[in-house]
Amino acid sequence: MMEEEELEFVEELEAVLQLTPEVQLAIEQVFPSQDPLDRADFNAVEYINTLFPTEQSLANIDEVVNKIRLKIRRLDDNIRTVVRSQTNVGQDGRQALEEAQKAIQQLFGKIKDIKDKAEKSEQMVKEITRDIKQLDHAKRHLTTSITTLNHLHMLAGGVDSLEAMTRRRQYGEVANLLQGVMNVLEHFHKYMGIPQIRQLSERVKAAQTELGQQILADFEEAFPSQGTKRPGGPSNVLRDACLVANILDPKIKQEIIKKFIKQHLSEYLVLFQENQDVAWLDKIDRRYAWVKRQLVDYEEKYGRMFPREWYMTERIAVEFCHVTRAELAKIMRARAKEIEVKLLLFAIQRTTNFEGFLAKRFSGCTLTDGTLKKLESPPPSTNPFLEDESAPEMEELAIEKGELDQPKKPKVPDNPFHGIVSKCFEPHLYVYIESQDKNLGELIDRFVADFKAQGPPKPNTDEGGAVLPSCADLFVYYKKCMVQCSQLSTGEPMIALTTIFQKYLREYAWKILSGNLPKTTTSSGGLTISSLLKEKEGSEVAKFTLEELCLICSILSTAEYCLATTQQLEEKLKEKVDVSLTERINLTGEMDTFSTVISSSIQLLVQDLDAACDPALTAMSKMQWQNVEHVGDQSPYVTSVILHIKQNVPIIRDNLASTRKYFTQFCIKFANSFIPKFITHLFKCKPISMVGAEQLLLDTHSLKMVLLDLPSIGSQVVRKAPASYTKIVVKGMTRAEMILKVVMAPHEPLVVFVDNYIKLLTDCNTETFQKILDMKGLKRSEQSNMLELLRQRLPTPPSGADGSSSLSLMAPTPEQESSRIRKLEKLIKKRL
């Protein structure tokens, strides 16, 4: 019974002493200990086993028990001390709380006392400063009143003085006084309700009106609108009057400027009336000389009379330009039939010279009519038409064989005066356009005559095919016309000039380039079979002579230059013309024309070399291949083809050195033409013996190697052929080799032969198979069975074999191939 009670007590104790993991972790952090008794998972049995691991260790049990009892006693003492100290802590805490509450009550009382004293002090200060505030307000009001009275006194006195000085025309004093009076009057805007102030304001306005009318009358008297006499020099009164006008209504200033400039230019209108000889375009220099003298005269006599910020010199020049433009437009409309190109360009030249002079002399700050606009600088361009535009040779106009020099003009975007006078010539630029049309027609005719007289260019294989000099002359003339016309107008005349350019670009392409390409003949030329088999090195079989080949290359290079330069010309024209008209400039048709010339030239070169190789291929197809007894070196027809290639290709390559991409196009087109033709003639070689097929395979491989080396054949510098060209040659010639390998393979058994054909030729079809069977010399009865077997074993339609063509072309020889084919391959490898 006692044991059960003890067990229950232990269980209850353990339940009470069971701590949470967070509390246990906190205790371990505050009181770290290595004693097993302090661990939360303490196990008495394990602890005892640790103390007495063996029976022999039980001899020390009494000593261990005594140590544990001593430790228990110490723990009891510590617990007792801690419990007692906790009882005293609670009592001390209550006492400290009571003391804190008492201290707070005392502090609150002191704060209340301080607040009461502060309110009393504030009330006392208000009572003390009440009188001081009243004195401050009084002082402020008094100061304002005194200031206002002073201003009123100044205003009243100033108005009286202003009226008196106006009557005496003392403009110098009026200028200073009027500005002061107006400044003082601004202080009385809020007092305009007071009759006296309103009266003074009205007197000031009346004085300003009187001053304006009086100054205008003085200028009218000094510079009368009628009559030609002028005072000898500026008046000090008028100079001071201008200072007053600066302060008055801006309309007074504008009226003075308008009347003075009108009076100043009245003599010009009389001297250059429409019915006067000096008014016509041939004496336009006199107009500009007159205004230059007037500007110098103005600076000497009246330069100090008007304020500098009025820009009177520039205003006179600008008004002169407006008047001149109107007068010139009127007289040119009346005498339009008398306008000639030389006269028109002379007048435009002198006018643009004068506009350039104005741009150097003045800033253009008085231009307000909105007809002239600052243009944005064009973006940098790489085309050659933009280069050296200001060079002396490009600034000379081609007028009457250089009799007139084109003046050096500032660029349009930097000249605010550009077009201020020369705009009047724009409606009459059709005369200039018609002249350029005529000149370009004569230029093209001269190019044609020169080409016929001088003949085709001399062969030059060192520096590449030369561009025809007439091409450069044409575009230089185009550039001169474009620069000249853009300085005259950037509107419709530029569109008309572009149309002229298009017309003569097409004429140049057809008359000079296409018209001089050598014509191909219908005769086959070349060699006969017998002569081909006995052909000697150096024999010439090409249709075109060396000079004709060089001519074709030169025309091709010229067309390529024209194509690139026409594109640059289009870009430059779009830069020169107004933005709204850029879409109307399109030289795509002309560029297509030059592209057509290039294609025709390349086609001629291909046809020439292709035709030169035709006799050799014909000889190949007519040889008795069933009678060939042994495999030797390459056949004579291969030597002939290689000879023609070595004769033509180096000449073409050297003459197209400056246009390398078109030489590559020539090589590609020749390969695309020659290889199918070679395969076609290959099918005509029937019947073929096994030895004959081996010889043909050797010849085919030789041609393949020559074609792969075609771009650099005969050259000291060996270059790798373009990948696009190499792919075409490898694909085409490998097909020819595969055809011959199928021919060489034994046709028994039939299934192996058909499978071999399907594996070797990716474009396998019954038509090609029929031709191969003809080459083998099989009878029709044998062929029918093989064709039927082929139709049954074709895995896919011929169109589905494209994706694996490259892999099939390079496929190795099947196991069914005969030992003779393997021996032939070894022979080819030895030769390589």
Q: Could you report the per-residue pLDDT of 47-104, keeping only the tens digit for each?
A: 888 888 887 777 888 888 888 889 888 888 888 888 877 777 777 778 888 888 889 9
Q: What is the pLDDT of residue 11?
A: 66
Q: Which long-range contacts (CB under 8 A, 24 or more apart) does 130-133 make?
A: none
What span, in angstroms and rounded, lies between the C-alpha atoms of 436 and 398?
Answer: 10
Question: What is the mean predicted confidence (pLDDT) over 700-718?
Answer: 86
Amino acid, res. 319? E
Range picked from 220-224, 441-445, 453-457, 710-714 for highest mean pLDDT: 441-445
Percentage of the chain exceeding pLDDT 90: 13
> What is the token pair recorded at 429?
């630029």
CB 670 within 8 A of CB 710: yes
CB 712 within 8 A of CB 719: yes
What span, in angstroms and rounded, lies between the C-alpha atoms of 536 and 545?
Answer: 19
Question: What is the mean predicted confidence (pLDDT) over 469-486?
Answer: 87
Residue 411 has pLDDT above 60, yes or no: no
In the numeric block, the tokens 């994706």 are attached to 803
Q: Render 318-329 in DSSP notation, one character per residue.
A: HHHHHHHHHHHH
Kindly report, residue by residue over 538-585, the tens digit of the pLDDT. Answer: 344 447 888 888 889 999 999 999 999 999 999 999 988 888 888 998
Higher-pLDDT residue of 406 and 565 is 565
CB 658 within 8 A of CB 464: yes
> What is the token pair recorded at 670?
């020749």
Least confident of 404-408, 474-478, 579-583: 404-408
Q: What is the pLDDT of residue 377?
A: 40
> In this structure, what is the dihedral angle of CA atoms 744, 747, 752, 754, given to the nearest 10 degrees?
90
Give the pLDDT band (50/70/90) at residue 523. Answer: very low
What span, in angstroms and rounded, lies between the C-alpha atoms of 795 and 632?
Answer: 39
> What is the token pair recorded at 366?
């008085």
CB 156 within 8 A of CB 184: no
Give the pLDDT band (50/70/90) at residue 634. Answer: confident
CB 344 within 8 A of CB 440: no
Half-sphere exposure of 108 (CA within 13 A, CB side): 6
What span, in angstroms and rounded, lies between the C-alpha atoms of 659 and 595?
Answer: 13
CA distances, 582 to each of 107, 237, 512, 623, 825 (Å): 91, 57, 30, 65, 65
> What is the token pair recorded at 222?
């000094």
Question: What is the mean predicted confidence (pLDDT) over 495-517?
Answer: 90
What span, in angstroms and rounded, lies between the C-alpha atoms of 372 and 366?
Answer: 11
Give the residue among 294, 285, 231 at the shortest CA–CA distance from 266.
294
Cα end-to-end span (Å), the chain: 116
What span, in angstroms and rounded, lies between the C-alpha atoms of 45 and 124?
Answer: 89
The residues near 298 (Cβ < 8 Å, ≥ 6 apart) are: 264, 312, 313, 316
pTM, entire model = 0.61
Least confident of 361-370, 557-566, 667-676: 361-370
Residues across the chain: 832
